[in-house]
Amino acid sequence: MKDRPVINIFFAGVGGQGIILASDIVAELAFRAGFDVKKNEIHGLSQRGGSVTSQVRYGGKVQTPVIMEGDAHFLVGLEMLEALRWAHMVRPDGRIILNRHRILPAPAVLGEAEYPADAAETLAEYAATLVVPAFETASEMGDVRMANSVLLGALSAFLPDFSADDWTAVLSENLKPGTLRANLEAFDRGRKFASDAADKGKAV
């Protein structure tokens, strides 16, 4: 365990999307599995609607909690513009897991700036990008807030360190009992989506 290289996971999204909870879950999973773990987040001034990032590093020994540029094995984008904003964090041989979802920032609403049209293509120039219909899946299931669980499911397919049962255990302890079943289903859908895509060799 001691010499295990460090895995870096960078989450980017918009305030209110639940990014902190998502990264807490991954960090806790790594902690329980016996790794050294550091987790850092920036929740600056009233982050409602602003950019939010969170990062998890785990492995044999972790020094700084902050991932170096171009060194994230995974960039999990909860929103497309925010994934673009942090694209340079991912390693060229890493993976981007992208929620197909746009939240217009104020300058775009006001017509002062344009929302980038081709996010997925641009991201693909940084690293292999898996576009996950997490928002659609969650709205189909009746609650857009479950998009995070879909994305965590997709991420889980690429993290052999943790079994599906490990995930279920941590999710069960961190989510409200009332929403747990639906979230576990959302997680499974995301996991399946990513494994299917991997089987087909689709952009992964």
Partner 1 sequence: MTEATENMSDKRKGLMFLSGNEAVARGAWEAGVKVATSYPGTPATEILEALGGYPEVDCEWSVNEKVALEVAAGASMAGVRALASMKQVGVNVAADPLFSTAYTGVNGGLVIVTADEPGLHSSQNEQDNRYYAKAAEIPMLEPTDSQECLEFVKIAFDISEQYDIPVFVRLTTRICHSKSVVRPGKRFEPTRKQYVKQARKFSMVPSNAVQRHFDLERRLTRLEALANTFEHNAHEMRSLEVGVVTSGISYRNVREALPDFSVCKIAMTWPFPGQFVRNFASQVKKLYVVEENMPFLEEEIAALGIPVEGKQQLLRVGELSATTLRRRILHVSPGQKGPVEGLPPRPPQFCPGCSHRGIFYMLGKKKFVVSGDIGCYGLASLPPYNAMDSLICMGASITMAHGFNKVSDPNDRAVAVIGDSTFVHSGLTGIANLVYNGGVTAVIVLDNGVTAMTGHQPNPASTWKLGGKPGDMPKPTLDIEAVCRAMGVEDVTVVDAYDMAAVDRAIEGRKSSGRPAVIIVRGPCTMVDRRRRGAYMVSGDCVRCRTCFKLGCPAISVEEDAVAILEFLCTGCGICAQVCPKKAIRKACDSFPDKGKAAAGEDESPADKVK
Where on the chain is the footprint of partner 1 (CB under 8 A)?
14-15, 27-28, 31-32, 34, 36-51, 62-66, 68-71, 81-82, 84-85, 87-92, 104-116, 122, 125-126, 144, 173-174
Least distance from partner 1 to the Cβ atom of residue 196, Å: 28
Residue written as tokens 């850092």? 40
Q: CA–CA separation, 167 vs 156, rounded Å? A: 8
Least distance from partner 1 to the Cβ atom of residue 194, Å: 23
100 or 145, CB closer to partner 1? 145
76 or 157, CB closer to partner 1? 76
Least distance from partner 1 to the Cβ atom of residue 139, Å: 10
81 or 97, CB closer to partner 1? 81
Least distance from partner 1 to the Cβ atom of residue 192, Å: 27
- Please count the other Cβ atoms lying within 10 Å of the Cβ belonging to residue 126: 20
Least distance from partner 1 to the Cβ atom of residue 44, Å: 4
Strand partners, 53: 12, 42
One-letter amino acid of 166: D
Q: CA–CA separation, 94 vs 74, rounded Å? A: 6
173 or 196, CB closer to partner 1? 173
11 or 193, CB closer to partner 1? 11
CA angle 27, 29, 34 (to 5 degrees): 100
Q: CA–CA separation, 16 vs 35, rounded Å? A: 29
Are 98 and 131 within 8 A, CB to CB? yes
